Chains A and B, each alone.
Chain A
């Protein structure tokens, strides 16, 4: 029996363990887990794995991680109790995203998982407002201009006023009529001065007849004059608006051709958004890959599981020293990345953190790497309370050497060289991520990446960037791992905005001159015509007013003549009466004298 056991141990156990790791590991990851070699030792109880590769379920021709060797010892007594308690594990030669020779996809597909929504591409495409205008002769016509429309409206109003004038003037007496009226007036005045009562009365009647004839005309003329005054007042107001209209047309056209710098907000978002989003997306992607494995490590409770035929269910009791079924107290690891070797530790990796009572803590660092001065990655994975799980990570990279980084696919400017200090703090809580990224770039050298058209906005931007030697970028991301909202600001915004504003202002002045010239070209004739007619109408209105006054003075004359005639009539009547009275008085006196004489 002992010999059998020894033979079993020597020949079969390693293979069985290798097979078990590959099978259960592949199920857990969802892609192939392969081992080159396994060595299981009895005293002490330990395992050494060599050539471990875990394929990426999302990219089967790549490995998620490759491990050169991993070695650990287990507590044998705990192992008998189905607990893998490892005090220390050393992992060396880790590499990420290495290419595979064969596919890492599992041969039997599981039920197709609902496709996770891919995170939206948060990087904006780079769009700058164009500074080139189309040919203004073709682009702007009379009908586009409010000035022209107002001028035409004024002309129509003036036509109406002119028509009113003509109607008014038709009421005026003609030259011959005016002479006749003058002669009649003279006759009336003569009759009043030197005529007897009958002649005076006749003169009065004639005056009243003339007044009646002229009165209607005068009223009409007066009304027409008032109307013309009102119309002219309205026209004068509209003329004032006409004076301002070309400026309004200019403003409208300026806005139409997008010369406002409003569109240049948040330049840094356009320049750096896709790059920063790429980093955030990558980290989110790694977490999304690891999250299902973290969840699967948690053991289900016995009473929640249905008994498998022939297997039964393991009932758990209280342990004196509660420990999770898998606990690695400390992992010392080294990983090879592009820039160098990262070394660090991970503590308290457990299948059930709630039982252990401590979160998993990791800390990695590297100095004097190829492309950067230093790198540190620290964080905690705290799932002690599954519904309130909090995962945190802090990444600091100092002195990262940047070279030849094109900022945006739509904008041909590259950050040729520079040194970046990056700090990323991210927290994942309740499925929501909150991340803050701060990047400080120094010794920056921007340069064009291709041909830039002289005088273009791109050239202005490239020139402004060329003066920048250092800048900072601050970004925040909030939301879920597949749908997060990223806000990005940079002190480069103000610099670029100032440069572009200068360019836009220059160009704007130039364009305004062109627009002004075109507007003047289209409106000057119209406006001049309107002004000229306005002058004429003012003259006409003055004439009408004078005619109305003239008729009014004639009316007054007639009234005076009538008054004089009535006064003369009265005088003559009084005189005649006085004469009769005197005569009668004399008669009576004589009669009295005769009677007195008879008496005496």
Chain B
């Protein structure tokens, strides 16, 4: 876990395109908020690979939002129940219910429906928010950390110099 976090921080601090990181984070949000073993997450995984989104960020986001999903499960269930129980959509859902592929997708599960709809609504705004946050982080937070006394003390230490040497040798 710590290794993953370290890797994620390194990516944030690197020159990687914030859009890539943001896309990865958005896709991770979808995978994390929705039940993991769902058909639509195969599509998400495919998008991660096709769009060449950052895998580390994707995994980190998935884990983070899985935790968030656990907290918001009852809300997602209620949203799903409300949508699936809607009289105006009953015909549509009845048709979908009789399609094997849709049954595999488990669209009629309240958590799946609630979480998919929620992530569908949130994904676009989330993309912009994440992109902005990454830019702000790089512009201000990194500088602030570098200027902090603690960072300066660490940077001045022999241990840090040794770490830089090893890191250079390893090609990071």
Contact = CB atoms under 8 A, between A and B. Distances in A.
Interface in A171-191: none
A77 B100 contact: yes
Contact of B94 (A309, A312, A318): A318
Interface in B101-120: 101, 103-104, 106, 108-112, 114
Interface string A297-335: 000000000010111111111111000000000000000
Given A80-B104, A317-B93, A310 B35 contact: yes
B35 A316 contact: no
Contact of B101 (A80, A313, A314, A316): A80
Contacts of A81: 100, 103-104
B84 interface: yes
B98 A320 contact: yes
Given A307-B77, A318-B94, A319-B97, A313 B109 contact: yes
A307 B106 CA distance: 15
Contacts of B35: 310, 312
A309 B70 contact: yes
B105 to A, nearest CB: 10
Given A80-B104, A82-B103, A315 B73 contact: no
Interface string B67-79: 0011001101100
Contact of A80 (B76, B103, B108): B103
Nearest to B46: A1
A318 to B, nearest CB: 6
Interface string B51-80: 000000000000000000110011011001
A309 B98 contact: no
Nearest to A79: B100
B84 A315 contact: yes
Interface in A72-90: 77-78, 80-82
A312 B110 contact: yes
A237 to B, nearest CB: 99
B84 to A, nearest CB: 4
A320 B100 CA distance: 12
Interface string A230-272: 0000000000000000000000000000000000000000000
B126 interface: no
B90 interface: yes
Nearest to B105: A80
Q: Is the interface of B mostly helix, strand, loop or mixed?
A: helix
B81 A315 contact: yes
A318 B92 CA distance: 11
B112 to A, nearest CB: 7
A299 to B, nearest CB: 14
Contact of A314 (B74, B94, B98, B109): B109
Contacts of A319: 97-98
Interface string A57-98: 000000000000000000001101110000000000000000
Contacts of A309: 70, 73
Nearest to B92: A317
A313 B77 contact: yes
Contacts of B114: 312
Contacts of A310: 35, 69-70, 73, 111
Contacts of B103: 80-82
A147 to B, nearest CB: 95
A205 B103 CA distance: 146
Nearest to B90: A317
Contacts of B80: 312
A82 B108 CA distance: 12
A77 B104 CA distance: 10
A-side interface size class: 10 to 19
A314 B73 contact: no
Contacts of B81: 313, 315
Contacts of B74: 307
A319 to B, nearest CB: 6
Contact of A312 (B70, B77, B98, B104): B77
A313 B110 contact: yes
Contacts of A315: 81, 84-85, 108-110
A311 B90 CA distance: 22
A312 B100 contact: no
Nearest to A309: B73
Contacts of B109: 312-315
Contacts of B70: 309-310
Contacts of A318: 94, 97
A315 B81 CA distance: 8
Given A80-B101, A81-B100, A317-B94, A307 B108 contact: no
Q: Which has the most chain B C-beta neighbours within 10 Å: A80, A316, A320?
A: A80
A66 B17 CA distance: 64
A319 B108 CA distance: 13
A524 to B, nearest CB: 103
A312 B111 contact: yes
Contact of B106 (A77, A78, A314, A317): A314
A47 to B, nearest CB: 19
B118 to A, nearest CB: 13
Nearest to B97: A317
Interface string B9-43: 00000000000000000000000000100000000
A317 B94 CA distance: 5
A388 to B, nearest CB: 30
B120 to A, nearest CB: 17
Nearest to B70: A310
A12 to B, nearest CB: 15
A320 B98 CA distance: 7
Contacts of A316: 97, 108
B38 to A, nearest CB: 11
A80 B103 CA distance: 7
A82 B98 CA distance: 11
Interface string A12-47: 000000000000000000000000000000000000
A256 to B, nearest CB: 81
Contacts of B69: 310
14 contacts: A80-B103, A81-B100, A310-B73, A310-B111, A312-B73, A312-B109, A312-B112, A312-B114, A313-B110, A315-B84, A316-B108, A317-B93, A317-B98, A319-B98
Given A314-B106, A315-B110, A317-B90, 11 more contacts: A82-B103, A310-B70, A312-B35, A313-B77, A313-B110, A315-B84, A317-B98, A317-B108, A318-B94, A319-B98, A320-B98
- The 9 A-B residue pairs with the shortest CB-CB distance, nearest first, are A312-B111, A317-B97, A80-B100, A312-B110, A81-B103, A315-B84, A317-B94, A312-B109, A77-B100
